[in-house]
């Protein structure tokens, strides 16, 4: 049974377009660095409704163990600590079986 990991992020006031772009590009590089990722989609909000999160990530894995490799991978942690933590005001996530 596979696993889907879904994350939404809300940015702090003052987050620049360059910061968002750098984060998105770093996230999009993760599949080339972590073999366990089966599918990976990153996108910014289309701004169709007030109150939406600013960024969404959907990642697919073959197993819980594959997700755990991603979760704990140094490349993933580098993106989180260097690019994500400085700009996020809020984060929501869930994992479900697919």
Contacts of 45 (CB under 8 A, 6+ apart): 52, 53, 54, 55, 56
3-state secondary structure of 58: strand
Digit-coded pLDDT (tens) for 18-60:
999 999 999 999 999 999 999 999 999 999 999 999 999 999 9
DSSP 71-89: HH-HHHHHHIIIIITTTEE
Contacts of 66 (CB under 8 A, 6+ apart): 3, 36, 37, 38
| Residue 75 pLDDT | 98
Q: What's this model's pTM, rounded to 2 decimal places?
A: 0.96
Domains annotated on the chain, with CATH: 3-97 (3.30.70.100)
pLDDT, averaged across the chain: 98
Q: Assess whether pLDDT exceeds 90 at residue 1.
A: no
């Amino acid at each position: 049974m596979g696993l889907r990991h879904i994350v939404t992020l809300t940015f702090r006031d003052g987050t620049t377009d360059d910061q968002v772009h750098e984060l998105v590009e770093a996230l999009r590089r993760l599949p080339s660095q972590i073999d366990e990722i089966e599918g990976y989609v990153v996108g910014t909000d289309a701004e169709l409704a007030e109150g939406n999160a600013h960024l969404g990530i959907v990642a697919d894995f073959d197993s819980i163990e594959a997700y755990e490799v991603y979760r704990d991978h140094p490349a993933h942690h580098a993106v989180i600590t260097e690019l994500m933590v400085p700009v996020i005001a809020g984060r929501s996530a869930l994992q479900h079986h697919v």
